[in-house]
Amino acid sequence: MALCFVVAAGGARSTPTAVPSIEARPHMAIWSRANGLSRARARVPAAYCMSAASSGEAATAAVPEKVKEGRAATGKDKGAAEGGVYRHTVNLPETGFSQRANAVEREPQLQAFWEENQVYQKLSRNNPGDKFVLHDGPPYANGTIHMGHAMNKVLKDFINRYQLLQGRRAALVPGWDCHGLPIELKVLQSKKLKKKRLEPIELRREAAMFARETVEEQKQQFMRLGVWADWDSPYLTLQKEYEAAQIGVFGQMVKKGHIYRGKKPVYWSPSSRTALAEAELEYPEGHVSRSVYAGFQVSSGPDAQVVAQCEPLRNILQQSQNENKPLRLAIWTTTPWTLPANLAVAVNAELDYSIVADDEGASFLVIAEDLVESVSAKLGRSLRKVSVIKGKDLAGLEYQHCMMSKKTCRVVIGGDYITTESGTGLVHTAPGHGQEDYIVGQREGLEMLSPVDDAGKFTEEAGEDGEFVGLAVLREGNEACVRKIEKSGVLLLEEPYAHKYPYDWRTKKPTIFRCTEQWFASVEGFRSEALRAVQGVQWIPASGEKRIHNMIEGRSDWCISRQRVWGVPIPVFYDPQTNQSVMDDEIIDAVQKLFAARGSDAWYECEADEILPEKFRGRGLVKGSDTMDVWFDSGCSWACVAGERPELQLPADLYLEGSDQHRGWFQSSLLTSVATTGAAPYATVLTHGFLLDEKGMKMSKSIGNVVDPNDVINGGTDQKRQPPFGADVLRLWVSSVDYTGDAPIGPNILKQVADGYRKLRNTLRYLIGNLHDFVPERGDMVAYEELSQVDRYILWKTDAVCREVQAAYDTYAFYKVYQIVQRFAVADLSNFYLDTAKDRLYISAPGDRQRRRSCQTVMYWILMDLLKLLAPILSHTCEDAWLNLPEGLKSGKGVSIFMDGWLDRNAPYRGVAFDAAPTWERLLGVRDCVNRTLELARMEKVVGASLDAQIRLFSSDPELQRDLEQLGSGTAKLGSGADVDSLAALFIASDARAVSSRELVDTCAHVLEDQELSLVVGVDRASGAKCERCWCYDTAVGQGANSEDSAAGPSPGSAHPTLCPRCLVAVQSLGL
């Protein structure tokens, strides 16, 4: 509905309520005296034309320019009724709170106001309540923020602003993750440095400069979103105090025996030339590997027969030798490049294995019995079963290495990872290139062979006579291995295999498993403690608990070392003669003090003996070159920040990040905290999903469906297609989605949210505008007990909304806040209460307590509640509204809305029961039916505006009929009475009353029956003359105050012959 700050004598009209189509109500029967209905809507006079839920644009033409600009509407405005002698007597809204947000200019002004008045700083430090600590997970300092960043920070701001309004000390210390490969690569690839060979310390200084510049850029973008935080004192993982505290956590883990050095296969990125943690991997769709089925030939001489542990196997070996048909172990692998490192074939001891005759291939094959059929189909030839044996009986058999003619290997017992879900049931085992392979190799005493260098190329150990040296294992090296086994007759089948494969999340290139010397955190040493800690945390949504539990339960030890320069050095020294590591508490303490004083650059600026405690000097020890995993960096923030800053505390009340952080920051924080303190660093973990476009597709720059938060706020290059919505519309979008799943966003969604925003803004504007002359301290406030039923009903609804919204905030269900408030503003306020209130507000005498001041009292309480409910979300808008409150309302209020606290617990309607609520719920159903009847009557030209109408009602439901008769017991005519609780006021009609029978309704020109309500509604044109001031029709127009009909004779009203009785009282109170 359009809200107009205007009074007009004719022409401009507005629909009082949003009226759904008749077709939507099949239970309604329509009876009419006339034919030729045409679709139309009921109208009200422009004197009342201001609806809170307007989208803004429809009513603009009728709104005076001065009002659009936020100035008070006066009788001189062109939108007022021209020529009407009473145009100055109507109480129009006045406010400086503009209809348009003008967010691009106004929001920065409001942010400057907050900063000038130190609003956040005062509240977060001085509020009387307890601390509330939402510990900020550090985004990576690389590039501008994206919509995921925006949603994350805005969600955090909702929570903290709500906590501040609750009186708690909620400080947000923002953080940034500043070390790691992406920044290092950015520096190395920059134009000015690309051709220059940088020393480590030079690279680190350039990287630090790049990180700080990015932090500053992202900080400004976060601040533009309206996010409150300690922006002047953020934490950066490159800060010396942070690095020192991180070394302290590392030292505690060393002391407890959780850190060790070992040679193990780890995820290795040839493109980055460093080890990777599981959290640094991604698994893109569409990866296809070259998979091969191969047959490793078993040694079949007398020695092999002695090794064979069962009679069937010995018989097959003898037959194989006699018939010159080799026995082969059928294996399947998706990484042919690992075949040079093969040292065993593993089987499941409890599985049944078939020995089958491959007559076409002139050999016998060993395959898991359950997989014979599928392998046969793959190879495209018949496999005839000869014998069945247990896997344990294969152990000890030797076979010829597939790549090296002089090397033999053996069959070993593997583990439960060997199944019959795919492959052959026999697993090619290369201990240097796989986690399970490594475990089996350790148990069986196998060599940790890994003939691949840092660049992912074969070394001389691969193959024979250096045949593979220098070949990249993921490209030509893989091809060479396939061709080698094909040439030697080992290859049974090659085929493409689509599956998920780990990629380096930074370079977007595939990784490999490679055995190297690395530093590890032994998760096994505290796994059970970590799992117990998980159970003590509240996970929202609850599925997060199972997810992280499974990850920790099944994870391997954490590889924390990286072969890069830009990071926190691992504080270890090595004996160059023995390559033995040297690290103890004294060394770690010395490094921690050094970093606290000079930062980790000192590791590269100082010689080893300058860092080492005195007793280690002079031994020729050299500094280690490995740096720590960046997940170890950020995973220590609980100790480096939450445990150090006085405004924070441990455990943090809340961690809030994307769901991918179950394997990232949530997990690294938990592991470091449990390893050193035995407890989780957080009490609650809340996760949000990822962003999708309007079609449900993942956002991608190549597709062109990425939504940039900066364009949403300030507009894009084409501002017709990408208009500037401002930060509050973006914040409202965040509140509108159920963020626990993936959230869609796009131009159409943003437009819908912007429409919803305008409705809320216009609701606030209407409330403020109609309180311009309301001064509680002057005695304008009407006591709750003196209020009408309709007033108490809407306050009861308001209080119920407040309880629902507070519960939603308490459970972080912001989409419920959005839905509840939006529904209340549109359905309960704009379409009902504020619609019916216009007559009271505009037409009554300014000081009329029974009609106008009572309505203003209610609007005041609604406004105060609505502003507080919306403030955490629409922070700029609510602050703007607060600053534009009429002077009469500002007494005793905070400078900022956020300094005024949460809802007023002492409001007279708070928690008060309203027994008549069911009655009013039924009456609203009647109002809906009446509006539909008015719509159809207007289509028949029976009436124009609703004020043209005379309404008669009858219900065969005794309870509803009683409600109608009670509400209609006063004056039936709007213009002749002062009753607020009346049918005429409820329907905005000149005359409305309940009648005693259906027949009295059927005499009306237009009749509608609602079978669901057992209600019949009749509409006729109202009798009497039209009041020039309020447009009501009444037979008492010109007859004076308190007149019921024209028979009353001459009265003082003769001085105002075109006014109804209540308008006469109003103008006389103004001295006219």
* pLDDT score at 195: 55
Query: How far is Cα of residue 466 from the mean position of the Cα atoms in its chain?
Result: 54
* pLDDT score at 33: 35
Best CA proximity match to 714, nearest among 106, 3, 1: 106
The answer to whether the CB of 581 falls within 8 A of the CB of 573 is yes
Tokens coding 173: 């210390």
pLDDT at 147 over 90: yes
* Mean pLDDT value across residues 893-921: 95
Strands 384-390, 352-358: pairing is antiparallel
Residues 6+ apart with CB under 8 A from 987: 927, 930, 931, 934, 946, 949, 951
Every domain of the chain with CATH number 1.10.730.20 lies at: 751-899, 918-1069
Which CATH fold would you assign to the domain 751-899? Isoleucyl-tRNA Synthetase; Domain 1 (1.10.730)
Letter for the amino acid at 94?
E
In angstroms, the CA 806 to CA 618 distance is 67
1008 Rama class: left (phi>0) / alpha (psi -120 to 50) / beta:
beta
* pLDDT score at 906: 94
Class of residue 755 by CB neighbours under 10 A (exposed 0-12, middle 13-18, buried 19+): middle
- Sheet containing 573-574, strands listed edge to edge, beginning at the edge strand earlier in sequence: 581-582, 573-574, 622-623
**Tens digits of residue pLDDT in 624-648:** 999 999 999 999 999 999 999 999 9
The answer to whether the CB of 1011 falls within 8 A of the CB of 27 is yes
* pLDDT score at 718: 86
Reported confidence tier of residue 308, pLDDT bands at 50, 70, 90: low
pLDDT at 976 over 70: no
* Mean pLDDT value across residues 656-682: 96
Share of the chain above pLDDT 90, in %: 72
Strands 503-504, 561-562: pairing is unpaired
Report helix, strand or coil for 102. Answer: coil
Among 63-77, 232-246, 563-577, 643-657, the range scoring the smallest mean pLDDT is 63-77
Report helix, strand or coil for 129. Answer: coil
* pLDDT score at 360: 75
Tokens coding 949: 């109408």
Query: How far is Cα of residue 521 from the mean position of the Cα atoms in its chain?
Result: 32
Pick among 3.40.1000.10, 1.10.540.10, 1.10.730.20, 3.20.19.10: CATH of 918-1069: 1.10.730.20
Sign of the C-alpha dihedral computed for residues 200, 205, 209 and 214 taken in this order: positive
Between 702 and 614, where is the model more confident?
Answer: 614
Tokens coding 728: 């509050």
* Mean pLDDT value across residues 420-426: 90
pLDDT at 71 over 90: no
Inter-residue long-range contacts of 736-742, CB under 8 Å, 24+ positions, other chains counted: 736/815, 736/818, 737/815, 738/815, 739/151, 739/155, 739/688, 739/689, 739/814, 739/815, 740/540, 740/541, 740/687, 740/688, 740/689, 741/689, 742/689, 742/690, 742/691, 742/692
* pLDDT score at 523: 94
In angstroms, the CA 871 to CA 166 distance is 12
* pLDDT score at 1049: 46
pLDDT at 828 over 90: yes
Reported confidence tier of residue 148, pLDDT bands at 50, 70, 90: very high
The answer to whether the CB of 565 falls within 8 A of the CB of 601 is no
pLDDT at 659 over 60: yes
* Mean pLDDT value across residues 144-164: 97
CB atoms within 10 A of CB 771: 24
Tokens coding 753: 């949210």
Reported confidence tier of residue 29, pLDDT bands at 50, 70, 90: very low
Architecture of domain 288-499: Alpha-Beta Complex (3.90)
Geometric angle at alpha carbon 950, from 948 and 954, rounded to 5°? 150
Class of residue 815 by CB neighbours under 10 A (exposed 0-12, middle 13-18, buried 19+): middle
- Annotate 937-946 with b (16+ C-beta within 10 A) or e (fewer): bbbbebbbbb
pLDDT at 14 over 60: no
Name the H helices within 334-382.
372-379
Best CA proximity match to 720, nearest among 728, 729, 708, 711: 711
CB atoms within 10 A of CB 806: 17
Alpha-carbon distances, residue 476 vs 375, 432, 454, 504, 779 (angstroms): 28, 20, 16, 20, 89
* pLDDT score at 323: 79
Tokens coding 8: 């007009």
- Looking at residue 568, what DSSP letter applies? P
Among 17-31, 317-331, 539-553, 818-832, the range scoring the smallest mean pLDDT is 17-31
Nearest-10 Cα torsion for 972, 978, 982, 986: 110
Q: What rounded mean pLDDT belongs to the chain? A: 87
Rounded to whole angstroms, the maximal C-alpha distance in the chain is 136
Among 95-99, 248-252, 707-711, 964-968, the range scoring the smallest mean pLDDT is 964-968
Every domain of the chain with CATH number 3.90.740.10 lies at: 288-499
* Mean pLDDT value across residues 151-170: 98
Residues in the chain: 1072
Reported confidence tier of residue 1043, pLDDT bands at 50, 70, 90: very low
Tokens coding 163: 């906590």
**Tens digits of residue pLDDT in 851-882:** 999 999 999 999 999 999 999 999 999 999 99
* Mean pLDDT value across residues 333-347: 95
Between 195 and 933, where is the model more confident?
Answer: 933
pLDDT at 1050 over 80: no
The answer to whether the CB of 814 falls within 8 A of the CB of 873 is yes
In angstroms, the CA 122 to CA 777 distance is 28
**Tens digits of residue pLDDT in 269-300:** 999 888 887 778 889 888 999 999 999 999 86
CB atoms within 10 A of CB 455: 11
| Strands (E) located in 505-575 | 512-521, 538-540, 558-559, 561-562, 573-574
Residues 6+ apart with CB under 8 A from 313: 355, 387, 389, 393, 394, 397
In angstroms, the CA 623 to CA 348 distance is 45
